[in-house]
Amino acid sequence: MDKRTYAGIPSNYATQEKSKVVLIPVAYDGTSTWGKGADKGPEAFLEASENMELYDIETETEVYKEGIYLSEILENFESPDEMVKRVHGVVKDFLFRKKMVTMVGGEHSISIGAIQAFNETYNDLTVLQIDAHADLRKEYNGSRYNHACAMYEASRTTNLIQVGIRSMDSSELSVMNQENVFFAHDMVTDEFWVDKVLESLTKHVYITFDLDALDPSILPSTGTPEPGGLFWYETLDFLKRVFEETEVVGFDIVELCPNKQERSSDFLAAKLYYKMLSYKFLNEHGLTEREYRPLGNFEEMERKEEDYEY
């Protein structure tokens, strides 16, 4: 039986040796406290990806041709500590192999080990957290690796920038650097919030995208949906500029809690991942959208595509 590939892409674009991108699914939901089911998120994400068109209209690219290797799923953890340790080890190994490492979860605590690995690799790392929740508790329910603690260590060891925050505990105020926090209620009235976020980033950026950052009207299937979130096109416009103006070295997408009666959230997560990769490699090749648009006839289109072989 052939090995499963990301989005069902041809196997020649999915080998570990030749792929530029690694996707690590982490099926973990060990500490969530309300909406359970994030451990089922990776499978729902992969199934939706297999039913997604792979030509991106906006960028006019097929980014899977860069090579996307689907790693073995990480699952069956005995404790939060073991989960963080295993994620850290796998991510560090792929970084050593010079891959762009991406993850899909799983609850938000899976990001802790990944951020540790990236922070050990890059001296000037910014963690860009896109999220409804601050996740800055030092410990919660007896563990420092709880989902409510997902960003505490990053706040101490990296340049943590938090975007879309609209729910937190008062205890987190003593930890939070409010100059680096973009609260959802302020973003609504600040037309320059994207510029301000970009000014706060260092060269190397790791994005951790908790899907509850999005408004529940477009993504209800997440552990703790909060009203007042981001919408699709404003999110894409923001991400596009981050990829244009910094070097995004990796990212994760977490907190998809699939619901069999509501499949659109799964598909949104799949599209978001593919969009982020499309922006990443569009900019890596030094292209702008305008440069990549067809010139007007098929002969010229073919010649232009040859100029930018992936």
Order across the sheet with 247-254: list the strands. 68-70, 21-26, 100-105, 247-254, 204-210, 126-130, 159-165, 181-183
Average pLDDT over residues 91-97: 98
- Which residue in 239, 238, 213, 237 sits closest to 227, CA to CA? 213
Q: Is the dihedral of CA 260, 276, 88, 16 positive or negative?
A: positive
Task: Look at residue 1 in the predicted model and tell me its pLDDT.
Answer: 60
Radius of gyration of the chain (CA): 19
Q: What percent of the chain has pLDDT over 90?
A: 86
Of the listed ranges 223-227, 241-245, 254-258, 281-285, the least confidently predicted one is 281-285
Could you please report the per-residue DSSP string of 158-184? Answer: SEEEEEEE-B--GGGGGT--GGGEEEH
Report the mean per-residue pLDDT for the chain: 92
Structure confidence by residue, pLDDT tens digits, 250-304:
999 999 999 999 999 999 999 999 999 999 999 877 544 444 333 333 334 343 4
Give all strands (DSSP E) within 166-246, no chain letters: 181-183, 204-210
Would you call 129 helix, strand, or coil by DSSP? strand
Task: Look at residue 300 in the predicted model and tell me its pLDDT.
Answer: 40
Would you call 260 helix, strand, or coil by DSSP? coil
Query: The whole model's pTM is what?
Result: 0.91
Task: Look at residue 99 and tell me whether its pLDDT is greater than 60.
Answer: yes
Average pLDDT over residues 7-23: 98
Q: Which residues share a beta bridge with 22?
A: 69, 101
Structure confidence by residue, pLDDT tens digits, 58-78:
999 999 999 999 999 999 999
Task: Look at residue 17 and tell me whether its pLDDT is greater than 60.
Answer: yes
